[in-house]
Amino acid sequence: MSVLIIVFLTAVVALFSGVFEQGKFARYIGILGLIIALWVSFMPEAAFFGQYRHMYDYTANTALFTKISIVTTLLLFFLGGFAFSNHRSHQSELYALMLFALCGGIILFGFQNLVTLFLGVEILSIPLYVMAGANKTDLRSNEASIKYFLMGAFATGFLLFGIAFIYGSTGSFDLYKIQDFGVSNPKDVMFILGVLLILCALAFKVALAPFHMWSPDVYYGSPSLITAFMASVVKISGFFALFRLMTIGFGGVTEEWINVFGVFLIITLLLANVMGLAQTNAKRMLAYSSVSHAGYIGLVFFGMTSLSTYNLAFYLFAYSLSTVGVFMCLIYVEKLKRETSFGAFKGLAKSEPLLATAAAISMLSMAGIPLTAGFMGKFALFSQAMNSDHGAFLVLVAVLGSAVSIAYYLRLIISMFFFKESTFKSSEKVTLTYNIVAVFVIASIIVLGVFPDLFARQFGL
Tens digits of residue pLDDT in 254-313? 788 888 888 999 999 988 888 888 888 888 899 999 999 999 998 998 888 888 888 899
| Cα(82)–Cα(411) distance, integer angstroms | 26
Quote the pLDDT of residue 99.
93
Beta bridge partners of 56: 111
Q: Are 381 and 391 in contact (CB under 8 A)?
A: no
Q: How many whole angstroms separate alpha carbon 251 and alpha carbon 255?
A: 9
Task: Give the DSSP H/E element, type plus range, for residue 116.
Answer: helix 114-132
Write out pLDDT tens, residues 408-450: 899 888 888 887 666 666 556 778 888 898 999 999 999 998 8
Compute φ and ψ for 347, nearest 5 degrees: 75, 15
**pLDDT tier at 71 (50, 70, 90 boundaries)?**
very high
CA dist 3 to 32, 35, 70, 126, Å? Answer: 13, 11, 10, 21
What region, left, alpha or beta, does residue 23 occupy, with left being phi > 0 and alpha being psi -120 to 50 degrees? left
Longest CA span, the chain = 69
The pLDDT tens digits of the residues spanning 339-370 come to 888 888 888 888 888 888 999 999 999 988 88
Query: What percent of the chain shows pLDDT beyond 70?
Result: 95
Q: What is the dihedral of CA 416, 421, 423, 424, to 10 degrees?
A: 80
Alpha carbon distance 318, 448 (integer Å): 8
Q: Is the pLDDT of residue 87 over 80?
A: no
- Predicted pLDDT at 86: 64
Q: pTM of the predicted model, to two decimals? A: 0.92
Task: Check if the beta carbon of residue 281 is closer than 8 Å to that of residue 300.
Answer: no
pLDDT bin (cut points 50, 70, 90) of residue 175 is: confident
Distance spanning both ends of the chain, measured CA to CA: 20
Mean pLDDT across 318-330: 91
Among candidate residues 111, 306, 289, 299, the one with its CA nearest the CA of residue 198: 111
pLDDT at 456: 77
Residue 389 has pLDDT above 80, yes or no: no
pLDDT average, residue stretch 368-383: 89
Q: Residue 84 and residue 26: Cα distance in Å, rounded?
A: 12
pLDDT at 134 (0 to 100):
82
pLDDT value for 346: 84
Query: Does 36 have pLDDT greater than 90?
Result: yes
pLDDT at 168 (0 to 100): 92
**What pLDDT, on a 0 to 100 scale, did the predictor assign at position 371?**
87
pLDDT at 22: 61
Among 303, 269, 305, residue whose Cα is nearest residue 288: 269
* CA pair distance 229, 125, nearest whole angstrom: 12
pLDDT digits (tens, 9 = 90+) for 99-146: 999 999 999 998 988 999 999 999 999 999 998 888 777 788 888 889
The whole-angstrom separation of Cα 69 and Cα 110 is 13
